Amino acid sequence: MSPGFKRNELQHRYNVRTFHEDEWHAYSGHRTLQYLTQHLHNRASNSRWLLNAGAGVYEFGLSTWNEVCLDLFTTPICARQHALCASIERLPLKSSTMGAVICVGEVLGYSDPAAALAEFARVLSKSGILICDFGSSRGIRNWFTKSYGRAADLIIVDYNRTPERTWIYDPRYIDSLLHSFGFQIRIKLGTHTWSALAKRLRLSTRTALSLQRNLEGLWFPPVWADVMTIVALKT
């Protein structure tokens, strides 16, 4: 079975104008924005077009980029200046037109990463940058479970205090896909490291996040993080 979900399975949750993030995922979004700002600032490219792949209700609004907001549903992107309603697995864009592709918020957890990454490689110009994240099957929350280390597995996570199904992936599987599509991985980053460990020890979410913020400067293997972010260049 290929990873991903049918469109109608996601419509009720994501075909919306506004979206409330719980504390855990709000922190994830904060860290992601820090990563984007750091790695896209003054980034040289043949194209100043940025594809926000799986934008939902969020727009990055980076002043040096022209942002195209693409989503599976029309409602969250209807007010955007440059909006496309389509799947990240079949992008309605010409090849080699984007200087950057951003696919974050664990959008890959609802998609087939092989199809999506192939499309990202196609639409990126040479030396274009890809920043994507995904749930790691080698993360702490999956230790000593049947999901640990699987190339792809469907799990249930807590989102806004409700259970939600999502796909997680082995970082080695994502690495192999990126290399096969002509990407050079520049850096790997982890979100929810110490906090994931704290949650595994059954500490509260608030305590886990406090620990994470206090220990943020200490190195932690990104492969053990709840979410791994990869920055890669199209060669």
Query: Using N-to-C axis directions, what is the helix angle for 171-180 and 113-123, rounded to 10°?
Result: 40
For the chain, the average pLDDT equals 92
Q: Per the domain annotation, does 177 fall within a domain?
A: yes
Q: Per the domain annotation, does 169 fall within a domain?
A: yes
> Scanning the structure block, which residue is given the tokens 């599509």?
181
The CATH number for 212's domain is: 3.40.50.150
pTM of the predicted model, to two decimals? Answer: 0.93
pLDDT in tens, 67-93: 999 999 999 999 999 999 999 999 999
Q: What is the pLDDT of residue 42?
A: 66
Domain count, the chain: 1
Give the amino acid at 102.
Answer: I
Q: Per the domain annotation, does 2 fall within a domain?
A: no
pLDDT above 70 (res 183): yes
pLDDT in tens, 21-35: 889 999 999 999 899
Q: Per the domain annotation, does 14 fall within a domain?
A: yes
Q: Per the domain annotation, does 1 fall within a domain?
A: no
**Host domain of residue 223:** 7-234
C-alpha 170 chain-centroid distance: 14
Spatial neighbors of 73 by CB under 8 A, at least 6 apart, are: 10, 11, 14, 15, 85
Identify the burial level of 150 via C-beta atoms within 10 angstroms of its C-beta, where 0-12 means exposed, 13-18 middle and 19 or more buried: middle
Q: Per the domain annotation, does 143 fall within a domain?
A: yes
State the chain's maximal CA–CA distance in angstroms: 48
Q: Per the domain annotation, does 42 fall within a domain?
A: yes
Q: With beta carbons less than 8 A apart as the criterion, state whether 83 and 52 touch.
A: no
Q: What is the pLDDT of residue 44?
A: 63
Q: Per the domain annotation, does 174 fall within a domain?
A: yes
